[in-house]
């Protein structure tokens, strides 16, 4: 059992060590407002990481997530500004995310195109299409019901964290207890063996990309409601943060192995690194370099593990 979850355990230990170091050398990190801010900031990242976990477990990857996130946030802001009620704004935003995800899924699953090539192309297409449409303008003058869904800031923050935890609990339970979850693992482990067992790998691939798009839209909405305006550069760099959190948490880049609990721990660890650098009086620009190094180490670790098997 310990061997099966060795990555999750090692990352949890690394997180614990970092928290202890912060307690000793930067006790101001544990200010209540700062902790709440970190939770709210990383709740949308967790939602996106759940979708990325499903995609990587199916032995695919989606690097267009930042562009999808930006478009979904801008759509939500524009719809709210037009006067639509927030429940309808939410539904249309999720539908837009599903459309973007299913476009990636269709190209990968039914045309057999490599996911990294497809999502690299759509990353650029989505982002540049948005830049052409908006001309770099913010979505401003949003109605009062948009920010925090019209709730107080405290209630809105609690809502964002609660939504993230509920989505995590649902998918974590589903991956362990539903046949759909087992189909994702089987597809990622060996697509041909999964097909012979009665699973349809193409359908699984299409579905995980579609879910990825929907969860990215949820994450974008949960992030956008924190602000009075929606930035056209919304979500820049999100793909690196999410992929780093997922792979460091134990989701094998080769597919078929890992848990959502590991992704949760990875999000927590990556979410603390940036603020920790600030509190430890280290330049914050090292954060992206650390994320890149983490991805490299995690992939190297997976390669070594596969060679030893």
Reduced to 3 states (helix: H, G, I; strand: E, B; else coil), residue 230 is: strand
Closest CA to 213 of 43, 20, 55: 55
Number of compact structural domains in the chain = 1
Tell whether the model's pLDDT for residue 231 goes beyond 80. Answer: yes
Task: Tell me whether residue 223 is in a domain.
Answer: yes
Task: Tell me whether residue 293 is in a domain.
Answer: no
Task: Tell me whether residue 195 is in a domain.
Answer: yes
Task: Tell me whether residue 201 is in a domain.
Answer: yes
Taking only the tens place, the pLDDT of each residue in 175-220 is 999 999 999 999 999 999 999 999 999 999 999 999 999 999 999 9
Provide the pLDDT confidence category of residue 163 given band limits of 50, 70 and 90: very high
pLDDT of residue 196: 92
Task: Tell me whether residue 200 is in a domain.
Answer: yes
pTM beyond 0.75, yes or no = yes
Place of tokens 């929606």: 230
pLDDT of residue 208: 98
Whether the Cβ atoms of residue 49 and residue 171 lie closer than 8 Å to each other: no
Task: Tell me whether residue 300 is in a domain.
Answer: no
Task: Tell me whether residue 198 is in a domain.
Answer: yes
* Averaged pLDDT for residues 285-300: 72
DSSP character at residue 103: H
Q: Extract the tokens encoding 199.
A: 């699973």
CB-based contacts of 196: which residues, under 8 Å, 6+ apart? none
Structural domain of residue 101, as residue ranges?
31-235
DSSP character at residue 139: B
Question: What percent of the chain clears pLDDT 90, i.e. is strictly above it?
Answer: 63
* Averaged pLDDT for residues 84-100: 96
Q: Extract the tokens encoding 32.
A: 């209540």
Task: Tell me whether residue 277 is in a domain.
Answer: no
What is 174-222 written as a DSSP string? HHHHSHHHHHHHHHHH-HHHHHHTT--HHHHHHHHHHHHHHHHHHHHHH
pLDDT of residue 172: 96
Residue 139 — φ and ψ, nearest 5°?
-90, 110
Distance CA 67, CA 79 (A): 18
pLDDT of residue 89: 96
Rounded to 10 degrees, the C-alpha dihedral 163/129/289/42 comes to -10
């Amino acid at each position: 059992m310990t061997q099966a979850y060795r990555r999750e355990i090692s990352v949890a230990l690394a997180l614990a060590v970092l928290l202890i170091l912060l307690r000793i050398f930067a006790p101001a990190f544990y200010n209540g407002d700062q902790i709440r801010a970190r939770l709210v900031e990383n709740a949308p990242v967790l939602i996106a990481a759940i979708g990325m976990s499903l995609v990587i477990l199916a032995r695919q990857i989606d690097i267009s997530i930042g562009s999808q996130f930006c478009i979904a946030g801008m759509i939500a802001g524009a719809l709210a500004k037009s006067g639509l009620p927030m429940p309808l704004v939410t539904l249309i935003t999720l539908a837009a995310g599903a459309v973007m995800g299913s476009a990636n899924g269709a190209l990968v699953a039914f045309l057999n195109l490599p996911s990294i090539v497809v999502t690299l192309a759509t990353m650029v297409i989505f982002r540049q299409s948005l830049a052409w449409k908006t001309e770099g303008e913010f979505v401003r003058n949003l109605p009062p019901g948009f920010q925090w869904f019209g709730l107080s800031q405290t209630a809105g923050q609690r809502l964002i964290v609660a939504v993230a935890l509920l989505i995590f609990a649902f998918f974590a339970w589903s991956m362990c207890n539903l046949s759909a979850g087992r189909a994702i693992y089987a597809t990622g482990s060996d697509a041909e063996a999964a097909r012979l067992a009665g699973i349809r790998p193409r359908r699984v691939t299409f579905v995980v990309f579609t879910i990825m798009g929907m969860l990215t839209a949820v994450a974008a909405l949960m992030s956008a409601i924190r602000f009075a305006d929606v930035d056209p550069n919304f979500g820049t760099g999100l793909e690196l943060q999410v992929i780093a959190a997922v792979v460091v948490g134990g989701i094998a880049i080769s597919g078929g192995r890992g848990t959502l609990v590991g992704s949760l721990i990875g999000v927590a660890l990556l979410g603390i690194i940036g603020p920790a650098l600030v509190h430890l009086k280290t330049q914050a620009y090292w954060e992206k370099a650390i994320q890149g190094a983490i991805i490299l180490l995690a992939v190297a670790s997976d390669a070594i593990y596969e060679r030893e098997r």
